Structure 1
Amino acid sequence: MAEGCPKTEVSGSPFFIRTSAMEVETEDITYLDPLEVSALLSSGGPAEKIFPGFEERAGQLDLLQYICTAFNEDKIGVFEAGTGVGKSFAYLIPAVLWAVQNKERAVISTGTINLQQQLFEKDIPAVRRLLGIDFKAALMKGRQNYLCLRRLHDSLAEADLFDEEKEVLQEISEWAKICDTGSISDLSFMPSSSVWQRVNSESDACLANRCPFFERCFVMKMRKTAADASILIVNHHLLFADISMRASGSGFSETAVLPPYKRLVLDEAHGIDAAATSFFSSSVSRFTFIKQLNKLYRVRKSAAGLLYNLQGISSCADCVQEAVAAIQLIRVRLGDMEDAASAFYAEVSSCRLCEATAARASDFISKALLLAQEVDSLCASVRNLIDGISEEEQAQQAVWETKLILRRLESAALVCKNFSEWEERRASVFWLEKHSLEKGGFYPVFYETPLDTAPLIYANLFEPVPTVICTSATLTAGGKKSGNSFSFWLGRSGARFADAERLMCASVDSPFDYKRNLLLNVAADMPLPNKECFQQFLEDMIVRLVRASSGRALVLFTSYESLQSACAHARRILPKEGIAVLKQGDDDRFRLLETFKNDTASVLFATDSYWEGVDVPGESLSHVIIVKLPFKVPSDPVFQARCEDLDSRGLSSFFDLSLPEAVIRFRQGFGRLIRHSSDRGAVSVLDKRLIAMPYGALFLNSLPECRRCFDCADEICSAVRRFTDG
């Protein structure tokens, strides 16, 4: 029994320890017995009898017992579990047992939809079979992944769509008649983003029970299924959407985006700071405004839009002309703001609003404020138009949709206003980013991002939810020699604000034999990355290393420009030798990875998201090449602001942010290679800072013990050839 649990009699099931309400002065709770639960996955237990090839894993049993204790004692459990531990079973089994026995819903949140699918389609059925318990589980994705039947109907009714777009919409319409989920992942083809954005579900455009397609709505069907489920499988973005709504007033006892829950598991927990930063950021661009304005008023063959729907039922019909004039002026203000913003960020791709840039930002800030004021005028005119509609007519769909549009416009205008108050809003980072247009040219996107998400995450996730399990293969920086320090992750995630007695941290090693199966190489004669000749050297070295492993390689970059140049160089050479060269962006991520898996004589050049979430076991991936240590680009606006904040408080932005963040990301990239116990291969690093700089030891100490070759290029290529051929 977990330490600290009330000692009580054992219930009818061997997995539980029951306590009465009188003993603990709370509702009747059935606690998990860690030893009995872990027996499920022990040698001679049910798992060995049910699953062919099953082997007991000591680390998995340890992790499962830790998680049982965290459930029993309302802990925040922070558990690093190396690749191959089997962490999904270790958290699913306690979550299912607790949820079923105590009639408390458990939510499992992952970083990627791919892992969601794996949990729901593979792991949940296996756990159901193992436990012999009939429980309900539901898979929930963000609503933008689901088809909206009303928006599909409206899009098909548009007379001036391009023929190609019409054809795709009609294919989606036929699919909608026979599919159960309405999820884009179940489509047999991948529609363009522009088509899907026209027909997918949107939260603030949903008419709920006013919608003529409400009875057939895929989102409502998904939510109904979730309401009856004991286990919910979600992703981090959807989780934060739920948390945000609860923080706004709905609390944890009612349904928000998700049904109410008391137990939460965060898999791939290393990414929750990034997920929170993304979710709690606000952004606006020309398209934010134009999309809404076009719904109100547009001119094609003639003037049309919701304004004219309202004009016929409002006693303030004259307001339509005021609104049209305001819309036309808003379009002018948008152009003015974009021109001023372009002058602000000049040749760079992104730029932050701060003391150093404030003087040259004054023009675009004043233009942004003028735009916001004009949006306020438009909203006032449209509200007057709505006020002139009788109470009976207020229920019309056009009125409802118009009110939603006004809320969107006002939210966008608020971001523009906040830019003018950036000096008073030091808890936010205000920055601009240059985006490319399909037909050439650029447009700016304006962002407001929290400087520090840790207090938000703690107050809205760790504090109100009784049990939170956080697990990943990479939560620490520095390895055993540094005491497997969780301090960086605890600080970035907000878990450090919890009382010490509520925190429970542990590391569980991977069962894989890295000493036998992995060779780590560092090119000692490469120039340092800050040298001009580095790119040329790395391009030649990549070709030599890929040739040494006969393809079967994933090349991870930190810069897309470097990737493109290196890939172009490789494509001039390697295909002639029978090695296919694949590049991120050439195809959909899923199809690209499938091509890579199926072609053992191929190399994949990638960056960003491919440092994690790539699972290619077996011979197809025998060599991971890491071009540079994955330090954040110093010019990244949010990273830059966070560094300045740390330095201003007497801390070190390098040692307290940049370095540990890079170590965790490096470990993610390293972890792409060995996915199964039978996998074997090499990781080659072309950044000699790993062995030349004192901080390189932190990276090396964070890795499992393995064979090492820190030598010149010739020797490394020979070592890779010998090792991967062996």
Structure 2
Amino acid sequence: MMESQKYAIVDLETTGHSPANGDRMIQIAIVIMKNWCIEKTFTSFIHPGQAIPLFVQDLTNITDIDVQDALPFESHAETIYEMIQDSIFVAHNADFDLSFLQAEFKRAGLPEWKGKKIDTVELAKIIFPSSLSFKLGDLASDLNIPLDNAHRADNDAKATAHLLQKCWEELLTLPIITIEQLHKKSFQLKSNLSQLFFEALQIKRKTTSNEEHNIYYRKLAIKKKAELKTGNKQLEYPQSNADKIAFFQSKIPNFEERPQQFQMMDTIWDGLNLKKEVMIEASTGIGKTIGYLLPSVIYAKQQQGKVCISTYTSHLLEQLLTEEIPKIEKTLGCRVNVSLLKGMKNYIDVVQFEQLLKIRDFSYDETLTILQVLVWLTKTETGDLNEINVSGGGQLFIDKIRKNPDHHKKGSEPFDFYKRAIEESETADIVITNHAMLLADMERREPIFDQIRGWIIDEAHQFIQAAVGRDESIFSFTKWKYIFGQIGLSSENNVFANFHRVSLKKQRVSKQSLNQLEKKFMQMTKAFDETMNQIVQGMKQHSKSTKSYTKYTSFLQELNLNETLLKSVSKGIQQWIDLAEDAARQFSQEVEEIAPEHLVILEQWKYWTREMKMKVSEWEDVFLNDGVDSSTWVEIDRRNIPGSIQVYKKPIQVKDHIRKLFDPVRNHHGIIWTSGTLTVPNNKRFIADQLGIRDEVPIINLQAPPTYYSGAKAYIVNDMPDIQSVSQHRYIESISMAITRIVRSTEGRSFVLFTSQDMLKKTVELIQESELLNDYVLFAQGVTGGSRMRLLKSFQKFNHSVLFGTNSFWEGVDVPGDGLASVIIVRLPFSSPDEPSFKAKSMDLQAKGLNAFTNLSLPEAIIRFKQGFGRLIRSSKDKGVLVVLDRRIDTKSYGKEFLDSLPPISIQKLPLQNMVLELEHWYNNKHEERKQVDKNE
């Protein structure tokens, strides 16, 4: 019986990841649990027989002094071996802990430990599929598990034991039908979870469980839709400042009056009521979100209409829903009906998912994802697939179960989440969406938008980027080859082979049709390969005259591709699609009912046919539609030809497109554009013009009071060499030295901003060679693996860390509180003149007789500069320093515009040596202040 099962929950701290390379253990902890109670614990430091690397000391807080009197592993080996006998071995990332332990047992002359294992990472992914992270510290914080000192074995092992218990308790709350599915599909997992699921089933079958909060589709349990609570309390807008103060003071303890927030509220209130369009630049610190939410909610309730709030990232959407709306409800004392609306493809197609479950052979990643989806369906209110945190391989499976317009049937099944969202938005006061969805749905003129009475576009400067993303096309050689590989030939093991086999066996599709299909597929892929070969040859020819880096870049028109060949590819694909759809029709027409496993094969065939339909329109858009307002260029990495071929087509400007979308609602409803960065000093309408907003629309600038920035300083280092007058190597030596000294002065927590990936890489390499920052953890965009968000999370985890990034890193990155001590700007953030998208915009401006530097290059750089500073101070308690190493800010006439874009803070121009001394003095004072605050608290 599992209840009396003994679990040995183990955590190790080590000098590194590989015992084979000489890494050793520095601490071990074991928690023995029986009947879900902790029976005993064992913890000990272990002498590794070597120095502990500094980054491991930083991560674990275990120093050489901690282990100096500890015994080596051999002295504990038999005790540990005995302790974990007859147990299920449990660890967070069990493969690492168990394999390390086995290697240590072997070294100590003990036999290999035999037994079952449970990996709590794998288990937590299934049981808590929507967790943002499956790191132990993050799960502990989500589930209220005590973990004061992460990365210490004793604390981590206890936290893992509690996590196992929480997973078990949560498992028992799931519907029987879901646990049955989990058990049935769990035998392909990496750890022995099937036993755990079986035990849960035994218990559930003995108890009468209450499952009326679920609905069922075949063998899927789905959470029932919650009843919408409505209630329209009569709300009055607090007109005067005195009314606002009284209103907030009665609801919010320690309320601080912010005049700029009141001004923003009034501007929005007037804009909505008078159906005006207005732009508001609202700096951090004025309470922008409450500033637009409060008047929007009161207006929507009074008008019995809806206000649409659009923002840029999913993170901001979630923040609005989970943090800001509840604050407003509390303040107003009434429920706010909110609907989060996303594009159809964000939602799960339950019917499609149920059909795919019938396939037998899933990969590990697919199996894990299926188990996550099964559990998530019993919890989700929205059916939004973005709620599930899946691994890379699982993402392909998720893409197969997205709701698709082709599957969009009439009728309203209770588990159609997309319809649910539309229905909820009917009764909503506030509709929250993102820029991409707004652009798509306004373009399609979705009926829901006819009911909107006012528009708030938050992060308005990002609306330009969203519009570019909406209109851009990216051709990727590897994605095309992947699809061809999935479809394949009848002699291979893939989708067409399965379809071919069943069609002939059951005589559902004529042999002639299948032969035609295969012949057309071969013609189509041959023409595709010929085109790719032409692109490669054209790029090689063209790049002979350019600098020889690892990357070739050319505008498409410079390659003189054979148009007849380009057209033959698209014609061939279209003919294949027609034949493929005809074959699917023949397959479905037979009188005999299709067996479930054959239905799955048909659905897969239709899925890949739909993918090819999307690909043919992409091909025509990229290679055959010569857009006047767009630029198309090709990039190839010389180290991977033809695998690295990518073709980008981006609009040169999007203002006409945005104008066309908003013109039908202008003058009928209020439109408010707001952001922290909307203007630059000598070009107030730079963003407004790109958004296609008329000159008479006012821009209101609201800046937090100077006291908000009292913790900020800026330094300009005025003795750095001029990049034009020294070699690149000499310049990189100078900036490496400066960065090293600044980082040491602030003890890390530094962002370093470059404009060139090449310079970033060389600087990081030089700093690593010098070993001057060896006791710091360095993360570098394009050098350290992982996405932008992953780099940021890793950076935040360490006290002594430095993050090196290029221009793109600063868009929408947030590091609150003590997370950031300094922002170092190596080069003013101008775009590279060779970057194709920027080059195309410059050429377009020059053709119109305009100066590309003053009308594009400079304002873009100032906007980025403002955003770089904006990362530094996120609250009035933050302290941080901005350091500029680029002399041009001091020597060029435009430098003043960069400085004028900053809030009123102290700006000093100093040689490096003096600046470092100032910085050390300032930082030491900051430390003393912090200690004093902690003492007083």
TM-score, length-scaled by structure 1: 0.82
Return closer, same or farther for 1:670/1:383 CA change in 2, 3 Å cut-off: same
* 8 Å Cα contact 2:633/2:836 also seen in 1: yes
Return closer, same or farther for 1:298/1:416 CA change in 2, 3 Å cut-off: same
User: Unpaired segments of 5 or more residues in structure 2?
Assistant: 1-232, 541-548, 926-937
- Map of 1:378 onto structure 2: 576
Quick one: distance in 2 between partners of 1:88 and 1:336? 54
- Map of 1:18 onto structure 2: none
**Residue deviations 1:435-470 (CA, integer Å, cap 9, x gap):** 799x99733223332222100001113543522211
Quick one: distance in 2 between partners of 1:648 and 1:708? 39
- Map of 1:493 onto structure 2: 691
Quick one: distance in 2 between partners of 1:468 and 1:54? 29
* 8 Å Cα contact 1:79/1:470 also seen in 2: yes
The alpha carbon displacement at 1:620 in A equals: 2.5
The alpha carbon displacement at 1:123 in A equals: 0.8
- Map of 1:8 onto structure 2: none
Quick one: distance in 1 between partners of 2:503 and 2:665? 44
* 8 Å Cα contact 2:235/2:301 also seen in 1: no
Q: 1:536 aligns with which of 713, 733, 742?
A: 733
The alpha carbon displacement at 1:181 in A equals: 4.1
**Residue deviations 1:661-693 (CA, integer Å, cap 9, x gap):** 111111011111111111112101122211121
SS at match of 1:328: helix
Q: Is 1:323 aligned to residue 522 of structure 2? A: no
**Residue deviations 1:381-405 (CA, integer Å, cap 9, x gap):** 3355467688898999888987776
Quick one: distance in 1 between partners of 2:479 and 2:414? 30
Q: Is 1:413 aligned to residue 607 of structure 2? A: no
* 8 Å Cα contact 2:348/2:417 also seen in 1: yes
Q: 2:267 aligns with which of 54, 63, 66?
A: 66
The alpha carbon displacement at 1:68 in A equals: 1.0
Return closer, same or farther for 1:262/1:353 CA change in 2, 3 Å cut-off: farther
The alpha carbon displacement at 1:476 in A equals: 0.4
The alpha carbon displacement at 1:618 in A equals: 2.4
Q: Is 1:283 aligned to residue 486 of structure 2? A: no
- Map of 2:632 onto structure 1: 430
Quick one: distance in 2 between partners of 1:608 and 1:168? 35
Return closer, same or farther for 1:560/1:180 CA change in 2, 3 Å cut-off: farther
**Residue deviations 1:336-361 (CA, integer Å, cap 9, x gap):** 22222233344664645366x1xx33
The alpha carbon displacement at 1:508 in A equals: 0.7
Q: 1:353 aligns with which of 555, 560, 567?
A: 555
Quick one: distance in 2 between partners of 1:139 and 1:575? 49
Quick one: distance in 1 between partners of 2:788 and 2:488? 37
The alpha carbon displacement at 1:419 in A equals: 5.1
Q: Is 1:138 aligned to residue 339 of structure 2? A: yes
Q: Is 1:473 aligned to residue 676 of structure 2? A: yes
Quick one: distance in 1 between partners of 2:452 and 2:690? 24
SS at match of 1:449: strand
Q: 1:35 aligns with which of 215, 224, 239?
A: 239
- Map of 1:5 onto structure 2: none
* 8 Å Cα contact 1:107/1:231 also seen in 2: yes
**Residue deviations 1:100-158 (CA, integer Å, cap 9, x gap):** 22122211111222221211111111111111232211334455555554555566554
* 8 Å Cα contact 1:352/1:429 also seen in 2: no
* 8 Å Cα contact 2:532/2:642 also seen in 1: no
The alpha carbon displacement at 1:267 in A equals: 0.9
SS at match of 1:715: helix
The alpha carbon displacement at 1:57 in A equals: 0.5
The alpha carbon displacement at 1:374 in A equals: 1.2
> 1:38-437 counterparts in 2 under 5 A?
42-43=244-245, 45-142=246-343, 146-149=347-350, 152-153=353-354, 157-183=358-384, 186-187=387-388, 190-200=389-399, 201-202=401-402, 204=404, 207-209=407-409, 215-246=414-445, 250=446, 254-255=447-448, 260-286=451-477, 289-290=480-481, 299=490, 300-301=492-493, 303-304=496-497, 318-346=512-540, 349=551, 351-353=553-555, 357=558, 360-363=559-562, 365-385=563-583, 409-418=612-621, 421=624, 425-434=627-636
Instruction: Please tell me the residue identity of whatever aligns with 1:208.
Output: H
The alpha carbon displacement at 1:645 in A equals: 0.9
Return closer, same or farther for 1:293/1:582 CA change in 2, 3 Å cut-off: closer
Quick one: distance in 2 between partners of 1:609 and 1:427? 24
The alpha carbon displacement at 1:415 in A equals: 4.2
* 8 Å Cα contact 2:285/2:708 also seen in 1: no
Instruction: Please tell me the residue identity of whatever aligns with 1:472.
Output: S
The alpha carbon displacement at 1:428 in A equals: 2.3
Return closer, same or farther for 1:195/1:34 CA change in 2, 3 Å cut-off: same
Root-mean-square deviation (CA, aligned residues, Å) is 3.6
> 1:702-721 counterparts in 2 under 5 A?
702-721=901-920
Return closer, same or farther for 1:169/1:450 CA change in 2, 3 Å cut-off: same
Quick one: distance in 2 between partners of 1:468 and 1:707? 37
- Map of 2:755 onto structure 1: 558
More deviation in 546-555 or 316-325? 316-325
> 1:573-722 counterparts in 2 under 5 A?
578-584=775-781, 586-587=785-786, 589-590=788-789, 592-722=791-921
Return closer, same or farther for 1:175/1:34 CA change in 2, 3 Å cut-off: closer
SS at match of 1:506: strand
SS at match of 2:278: strand
* 8 Å Cα contact 1:622/1:680 also seen in 2: yes
**Residue deviations 1:215-234 (CA, integer Å, cap 9, x gap):** 43444444443343221222
Quick one: distance in 2 between partners of 1:595 and 1:606? 14
* 8 Å Cα contact 2:622/2:648 also seen in 1: no
Larger Rg over CA atoms: 2
Q: Is 1:525 aligned to residue 746 of structure 2? A: no
Quick one: distance in 1 between partners of 2:839 and 2:863? 19
Return closer, same or farther for 1:226/1:710 CA change in 2, 3 Å cut-off: same
* 8 Å Cα contact 2:567/2:624 also seen in 1: no
Instruction: Please tell me the residue identity of whatever aligns with 2:843.
Output: E
**Residue deviations 1:668-724 (CA, integer Å, cap 9, x gap):** 111111111111121011222111211112111111121112222212222222223
The alpha carbon displacement at 1:655 in A equals: 0.8
Quick one: distance in 2 between partners of 1:575 and 1:134? 57
**Residue deviations 1:302-343 (CA, integer Å, cap 9, x gap):** 753567777868776633321221112222222222222233
* 8 Å Cα contact 2:556/2:634 also seen in 1: no
* 8 Å Cα contact 2:346/2:402 also seen in 1: no
Quick one: distance in 2 between partners of 1:259 and 1:152? 33
* 8 Å Cα contact 1:543/1:574 also seen in 2: no
Q: 1:464 aligns with which of 665, 669, 692?
A: 665
Return closer, same or farther for 1:259/1:162 CA change in 2, 3 Å cut-off: farther
SS at match of 1:604: strand
Instruction: Please tell me the residue identity of whatever aligns with 2:580.
Output: V
**Residue deviations 1:553-599 (CA, integer Å, cap 9, x gap):** 12223333333333344455678664332344545555544444453
The alpha carbon displacement at 1:534 in A equals: 2.6
Quick one: distance in 2 between partners of 1:186 and 1:642? 37
More deviation in 708-717 or 60-69? 708-717
TM-score, length-scaled by structure 2: 0.65
Higher relative contact order (CA 8 A, sep 6+): 1
More deviation in 271-280 or 164-173? 164-173
Return closer, same or farther for 1:178/1:133 CA change in 2, 3 Å cut-off: closer
SS at match of 1:645: helix
Quick one: distance in 1 between partners of 2:672 and 2:648? 31
* 8 Å Cα contact 2:709/2:873 also seen in 1: no
Quick one: distance in 2 between partners of 1:725 and 1:184? 48
* 8 Å Cα contact 1:108/1:231 also seen in 2: yes
The alpha carbon displacement at 1:477 in A equals: 0.7
Instruction: Please tell me the residue identity of whatever aligns with 2:437.
Output: L
Number of residue pairs matched by the alignment:
670
